[in-house]
Structure 1
Amino acid sequence: MRYFLALILLACGLSVAAQTGLPPAPYADRQLDDPAKEEAARNLMDELRCLKCQSQSIADSNAPMAGDMRSQVRERIAAGETPEQVRDWLIDRYGSWVSYDPPMTPTTWPLWIAPIILLIAALLLAKGRFRRKKDKK
């Protein structure tokens, strides 16, 4: 029993030690002074996926990684980069998966074409199904 209790305490201690002691990124939760630049940063943050949460944008996520990405977006836009340049930089750094609107490349074109092919297949199946019902009557 003592070993089990020691193991639990060790596991709890490791999880606490795993927490980062670094201060949060400077612009993680602080807005830019220029409203136009802040709006551009916000719009871009809504289009970028949190790498840790995966189902949230970096604007909505509370993960430290998302805070770092928000800060990077704000810092780069404050320095004069366009949202497209910042998005391209993040895609170069993390891959096209970071964007909710990935560019069409040879590796992503099946993702863009698959819904169209599935829609055409569904229409053809439905057409054949309705035709068979008419022929039976």
Structure 2
Amino acid sequence: MIRYLLAALLWLTALPAFAQAGQQADAAPLQFRDATEEARFHALTVQLRCVMCQNQSLADSNALIALQLRREVLDLMRQGKSDAAIKDYLVQRYGEFVLYQPPLQGRTLLLWLGPILVLLAGAAVVVALVRRRRHEVPTADGDDGQEW
């Protein structure tokens, strides 16, 4: 009975090492056939977003899913697929979120116009505050209510 417990304990302590070895195998650098393939790969991965990191491109992310997606993109390139076909494949799999610049459509309109609307709303608030402050009437004795 003690042997089985020790064997189970040994197996459980070795499990993280096996998992890490699998991740390190995925982290091996990609080998490109030529400079044009490498340039195309980098141009494409900069246009794609890491599905886990949310604010990093596929080229910049160190997440395991990003490493796997980079390998998948390279495999699709080597299968002769165009950049548009690769993007379409990833959009079908992960949604339009995977694109750093999603197409301008009805469902992505807020995504494109949202920052402009927030900026305009902030400017309107600033203008309203300045106008209100300008139209405030100072008190007759010159006391503005502040203590020095």
TM-score for the superposition, normalised by structure 1: 0.69
Cα displacement (A) at 1:105: 4.1
- 2:51 alignment counterpart: 51
8 A contact 2:23–2:64 mirrored in 1:
no
Contact 1:51 1:66 in 2 (8 A): yes
- Report the residue type matching 1:19 in the other structure: A
Change (3 A) 1:24 1:51: farther
Quote the Cα distance in structure 2 between the aligned partners of 1:130 and 1:84: 49
Percent of matched pairs sharing the same residue: 34
Pair 55,120 (structure 1): closer, same or farther in 2 beyond 3 Å? closer
Aligned equivalent of 1:31 = 31
Give the stretch that moved more between structures: 70-79 or 106-115. 106-115
| Distance in 2 separating the partners of 1:135 and 1:80 | 67
Q: Distance in 1 between matches of 2:29 and 2:130?
A: 56
Question: How many corresponding residue pairs?
Answer: 128
TM value normalised by structure 2 = 0.65
Q: Tell me which residue corresponds to 1:109.
A: 109
1:119 corresponds in structure 2 to 119
Change (3 A) 1:124 1:49: same
Which gives a bigger RCO, structure 1 or 2 (Cα 8 Å, sep 6+)? 1
Determine the C-alpha separation between the residues in 2 that align with 1:57 and 1:15: 31
Deviation, structure 1 residue 39: 0.8
Q: CA deviation at 1:89?
A: 1.1
Question: What displacement does 1:92 show?
Answer: 0.8
What 5-or-longer segments of structure 1 have no aligned partner?
1-5
Aligned equivalent of 2:74:
74
Larger radius of gyration: 2
RMSD of aligned C-alpha atoms?
3.3
